[in-house]
Each structure stands twice: as structure tokens, then as C-alpha cells.
């Protein structure tokens, strides 16, 4: 009996380290990063349908040809040749224009969900190849966990799980455009270039202190996110082992060794910022959590 409905969870991500190491053909920047999936999830519900519809209730993200969920559905149908339709509802939990990969998570969730819904049996390699055509972070959103990510985001090396910790994530009132952030990097450069190799070794050793010591983001110096320094100062004062901006911004997060310290920091920051999230490392990527026949 065919499936009537699948529910997918797709984790957001944080950059434990982000360095810009050069340029690539096509105008892309060559990156070296450690990326971590976190327990802040987009939730997607997919059902067979006569047509193709995408809904994002409560979100101001437009459903237009640039929408990653819509692009993923079209790419899936194009690749498989399936003559079918799907109704997709995306319950967005990840802040927008935050550097947390919410759009990439949406695309990954659609690919995983449709693969299950239509019993297409595409491999992870096939899904990642489809995802790479939608956005640079989609392959990581599919794999999840902890990865060293290079190139334009298409070269992934899975790592052992991140040492146990908690993340307090603060999203300021104004987001950041990724193309504008990289344009500012091209104009201004950065004095900060984190040691991603050292951080990879810290992950492999399960050494949270060393991971935090090698954390950093080369885009932070030139970011147009004006509240980064103030949020980092608040996180540091609350006991964060490290604090930094994720991706191209604007979200900023602190790494805490234990749940109690993270909860106290989050409670303090919620007095000033509307969007404060408490999360843990997630060992997986986008996955089906419910399937109804």
C-alpha cells in the first residue's frame, strides 16, 4: 500500500569554524569549514497530490521559483521522471537570513521525504548530487552530524560526533544577505582565519576545550550584522566557552559545557532578544520520522 503522508525533520546547522581560502570558477568562494547539525529542526509534511504545492504557514519566506523546497521537488521529479504531484507543508523553526541553513534544510527535507513517499530508492550520493544543484549547503543538510566541509560546500568529510555540549543561539532583529556578506569580504578581507585542521583534530579527540579554542569565522569581521559584538559579549559574560557568528550571519551562538549553564544564559538573553534558542549537537541529517499508509 502506498504511503499517504510522511513527516520529516531537517536540522539547522552551525559553523564551528569558517575560513575563506580562495576563489573557484563561477564566482564561488573556496571555503574550509566545520559544520554541525543542531537540534533545531524544520518540520515538513509531504502528501501525494494531483499537483505541486508548497506551503509555509506563519513564515514570510516567499514560495516562488527561488524557494528551495520548490526547487528540490522539481529537481526530484526531473531526475526520477515520476509523473506525480506532491503537497508540501514546511513548518519553519529556523530563523531566516541567520546563517543557519534553514533553506538548505528545507530542500534536504523535501528530497528525503519524496524519496520515501514515492519509494524512489535514490542513494545518499544521488540525493547529495541533486541537493548540490539547489544550494551549496544542501549536501550537508542531508548528511548532518559533524563534517569538515570544503570547496564551495560540496566536499564533505564526516567526522565523529561533536563533544557533548549545548549551544545558545541568538538571532538579532535584522538578518544578513549571504551574497552581500561575501561581497563585503571581497572588499574588506579578514584578519581572522581559523585553524580548521586543528578543530578537526579536536573533534576526533573529543576535546571540547580545543574545539572552542580553534572556533572562528572569517566572515565575522566584515559582516554587516551590527549586533554581533554585543551578543558575543553577553554570551561570553554568561560563561560561554566560545562565541561566534555562524555562516554569513546574522545569528550568533555560544558553546556551553552543560545544560544548566546554557539554560541560565538563554534565560538571561531572552530578556533582551526575541529569538533565543537552546540546542544540542544532532548526529543526523534530514530524516523521515513518521510514515502513514
**CATH at 144:** 3.30.230.10
Q: Which of 160, 181, 210 is the last residue of a domain?
A: 160
Residues 130 and 263 in one domain: no
Residues 183 and 115 in one domain: no
Q: Which pLDDT belongs to residue 280?
A: 98
Q: Which pLDDT belongs to residue 93?
A: 95
Instruction: Return the exposure string of 94-133: e unless at least 16 CB atoms fall within 10 Å of the residue's CB, then b.
Output: bbebbbbbbbbbbbbbbbbbbbbbbeeebeeeebbebbbe
Q: Whole-prediction pTM value? A: 0.96
Give the bridge partners for 10, in sequence order: 42
Residues 177 and 271 in one domain: yes
* Long-range contacts (CB closer than 8 Å, 24 or more residues apart) made by 25-30: 28/136, 28/152, 29/152, 29/182, 29/185, 30/150, 30/151, 30/152
Phi-psi domain of 12 (left: phi exceeds 0; alpha: psi -120 through 50; beta: other): beta
- Evaluate the CA torsion angle 30, 36, 38, 43 in order and state its sign: positive
Domain that holds residue 70: 5-160
Question: Over the stretch 68-110, which tens digit does the pLDDT of each residue have?
Answer: 999 999 999 999 999 999 999 999 999 999 999 999 999 999 9
Backbone angles phi, psi at 84, to 5 degrees: -150, 180
Q: Which pLDDT belongs to residue 49?
A: 97
Q: Please compute the mean of the pLDDT values over residues 195-200 and round it to a whole number.
A: 97
Q: Active-site residue among 13, 71, 92, 152?
A: 13
Torsion of CA 54, 36, 196, 181, to 10 degrees: 40
Residues 189 and 242 in one domain: yes
Residues 129 and 226 in one domain: no
Classify residue 37: in a domain, yes or no: yes
Residues 11 and 154 in one domain: yes
Start-to-end Cα distance in the chain: 6
Predicted confidence band of residue 54 (pLDDT cuts 50, 70, 90):
very high
Q: What share of the chain has pLDDT > 90, as a percent?
A: 86
Look at the chain and report how many structural domains it folds into: 2
Classify residue 234: in a domain, yes or no: yes
Residues 26 and 98 in one domain: yes
- CA-to-CA dists, residue 64 to 89, 170, 272, angstroms: 14, 28, 34
Classify residue 290: in a domain, yes or no: no
In the annotation, is 93 catalytic? no
Predicted confidence band of residue 117 (pLDDT cuts 50, 70, 90):
very high
User: Is the pLDDT assigned to residue 190 strictly greater than 90?
Assistant: no
Q: Which pLDDT belongs to residue 50?
A: 95
Measured CA angle at 36 (ends 72, 9), to 5 deg: 45
User: Is the pLDDT assigned to residue 224 strictly greater than 80?
Assistant: no
Question: Among residues 173, 166, 193, 198, which one has the least CA distance to residue 266?
Answer: 166
Classify residue 29: in a domain, yes or no: yes
Predicted confidence band of residue 135 (pLDDT cuts 50, 70, 90):
very high
Q: Active-site residue among 19, 32, 137, 282?
A: 137
User: Is the pLDDT assigned to residue 200 strictly greater than 90?
Assistant: yes
Residues 124 and 268 in one domain: no
Decide: 202 and 148 in contact? Cβ < 8 Å: no
Query: How many helices and strands, by DSSP H and E, does the chain display?
Result: 9, 12
In the annotation, is 87 catalytic? no
Mean residue pLDDT of the chain comes to: 95
SS3 state at 31:
strand
Q: Which of 160, 187, 206 is the last residue of a domain?
A: 160
Reported residue count of the chain is: 293
Q: Which pLDDT belongs to residue 188?
A: 82
Q: Which pLDDT belongs to residue 216?
A: 96
Q: Which pLDDT belongs to residue 192?
A: 87
DSSP assigned state of 4: S
Q: How far apart are CA 176 and CA 179, in angstroms?
A: 9
Q: Please compute the mean of the pLDDT values over residues 244-260 and round it to a whole number.
A: 95
Between 178 and 145, whose confidence is greater?
145
Classify residue 293: in a domain, yes or no: no
Classify residue 285: in a domain, yes or no: no
Amino acid at each position: 500500500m502506498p504511503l499517504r503522508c510522511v513527516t520529516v525533520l531537517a536540522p539547522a546547522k552551525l559553523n564551528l569554524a569558517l575560513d575563506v581560502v580562495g576563489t573557484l570558477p563561477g564566482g564561488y568562494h573556496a571555503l574550509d569549514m566545520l559544520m554541525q547539525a543542531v537540534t533545531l529542526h524544520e518540520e515538513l509534511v509531504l502528501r501525494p497530490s494531483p499537483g505541486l504545492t508548497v506551503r509555509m504557514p506563519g513564515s514570510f519566506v516567499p514560495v516562488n521559483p527561488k524557494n528551495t523546497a520548490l526547487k528540490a521537488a522539481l529537481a526530484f521529479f526531473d531526475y526520477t521522471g515520476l509523473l506525480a504531484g506532491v503537497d508540501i507543508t514546511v513548518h519553519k523553526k529556523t530563523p531566516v537570513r541567520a546563517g543557519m541553513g534553514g533553506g538548505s534544510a528545507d530542500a534536504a527535507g523535501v528530497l528525503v521525504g519524496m524519496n520515501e513517499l514515492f519509494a524512489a530508492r535514490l542513494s545518499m550520493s544521488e540525493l547529495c548530487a541533486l541537493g548540490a544543484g539547489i544550494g551549496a549547503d544542501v549536501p550537508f543538510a542531508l548528511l548532518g552530524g559533524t563534517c569538515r566541509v570544503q570547496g564551495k560546500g560540496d566536499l564533505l568529510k564526516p567526522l565523529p560526533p561533536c563533544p557533548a555540549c549545548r549551544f545558545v543561539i541568538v538571532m538579532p532583529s535584522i538578518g544578513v544577505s549571504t551574497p552581500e556578506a561575501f561581497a563585503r569580504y571581497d572588499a574588506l578581507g579578514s584578519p581572522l582565519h581559523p585553524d580548521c585542521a586543528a578543530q578537526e583534530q579536536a573533534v576526533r579527540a573529543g576535546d571540547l576545550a580545543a574545539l572552542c579554542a580553534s572556533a572562528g569565522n572569517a566572515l565575522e569581521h566584515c559582516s554587516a550584522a551590527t549586533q554581533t559584538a554585543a551578543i558575543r559579549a553577553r554570551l561570553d559574560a554568561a560563561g560561554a566557552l566560545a562565541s561566534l557568528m555562524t555562516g554569513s550571519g546574522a545569528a550568533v551562538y555560544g558553546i556551553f559545557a552543560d545544560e544548566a549553564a546554557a539554560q541560565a544564559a538563554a534565560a538571561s538573553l531572552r530578556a533582551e532578544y526575541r529569538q533565543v534558542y537552546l540546542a544540542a549537537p544532532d548526529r543526523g541529517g534530514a530524516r523521515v520520522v513518521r510514515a502513514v499508509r
